[in-house]
C-alpha cells in the first residue's frame, strides 16, 4: 500500500514538473531550431499593440506605446542585425512615433525619428524614403488594422 502511494506521489510530482518545464524547454528549442519562427512570434506581439485601433486614445498614450515598441524592436534587431524584416518594422514604427511627436509639438524629436527611419530604409534599398511617402505607408498599414467597414449591403427578401 505504501508503494502505491509513493508511486502516485512521484507521478503527480513528475506531471507538475513537466507542466512547468515543458513550455520553457519548448521555447528554448524553437528559439534555437527555428529562429525565424521565434522572431516572427515576437514581431506579431509587437504589431498587435503597435498598430492598433487607438483613435480614441490620447496622442501621448499612443506615443508611449510606439516608444515601447521601438525599444522592443531595437532589442530584437540587436540579436539579429541581418534581419531585413526587423529593420523595416523598426523604421516604420519610428515613422509612427515621429508622426505622434509632431501631433504633440515635439518637432525636434519627430525630425530625429524620421531621419533614423529614412536612414534604416535607405540601407534596405528603399528608393523613396521621403516623409510624405513614409507617412502614407504608415497610414495604409494602420488603416488595415482599423475596424472593419461594411462595403456591401445585403438585401433580404421573403417569399
Phi and psi, residue 56, nearest 5°: -90, -5
Name the residue among 53, 61, 67, 73 with its Cα closest to residue 142: 53
- Cite the DSSP H helix spans in the chain: 2-33, 35-50, 59-79, 84-103, 107-123, 131-144
C-alpha cell at position 103 = 501631433
Q: CA angle, corner 139, sides to 136 and 145, nearest 5?
A: 150
Can you give the residue ranges of every domain in the chain?
1-33, 35-144
Question: Are the CB atoms for 95 and 113 separated by under 8 Å?
Answer: yes
Among 4-8, 37-41, 99-103, 121-125, which stretch is predicted with the lowest mean pLDDT?
37-41
- The confidence score (pLDDT) of residue 48 equals 58
C-alpha cell at position 76 = 530584437
Residue 46 pLDDT grade (very low, low, confident, very high; cuts 50, 70, 90)? low
Measured between alpha carbons, how far is residue 1 from residues 5, 8, 12, 126 in Å? 7, 11, 17, 74
- The confidence score (pLDDT) of residue 154 equals 47
Helix 107-123 to helix 84-103 angle (10° resolution) is: 160
- Distance (Å, whole) CA 14 – CA 131: 58
pLDDT at 85 over 90: no
| pLDDT, average across residues 70-77 | 84
Amino acid at each position: 500500500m505504501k508503494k502505491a502511494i509513493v508511486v502516485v506521489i512521484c507521478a503527480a510530482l513528475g506531471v507538475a514538473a513537466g507542466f512547468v518545464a515543458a513550455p520553457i524547454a519548448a521555447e528554448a528549442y524553437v528559439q534555437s531550431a527555428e529562429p525565424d519562427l521565434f522572431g516572427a512570434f515576437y514581431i506579431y506581439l509587437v504589431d498587435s499593440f503597435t498598430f492598433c485601433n487607438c483613435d480614441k486614445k490620447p496622442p501621448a498614450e499612443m506615443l508611449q506605446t510606439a516608444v515601447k515598441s521601438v525599444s522592443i524592436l531595437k532589442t530584437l534587431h540587436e540579436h539579429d542585425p541581418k534581419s531585413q524584416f526587423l529593420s523595416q518594422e523598426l523604421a516604420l514604427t519610428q515613422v509612427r512615433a515621429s508622426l505622434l511627436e509632431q501631433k504633440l509639438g515635439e518637432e525636434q524629436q519627430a525630425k530625429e525619428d524620421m531621419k533614423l527611419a529614412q536612414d534604416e530604409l535607405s540601407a534596405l534599398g528603399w528608393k523613396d524614403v521621403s516623409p510624405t511617402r513614409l507617412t502614407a505607408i504608415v497610414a495604409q498599414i494602420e488603416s488595415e488594422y482599423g475596424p472593419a467597414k461594411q462595403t456591401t449591403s445585403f438585401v433580404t427578401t421573403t417569399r
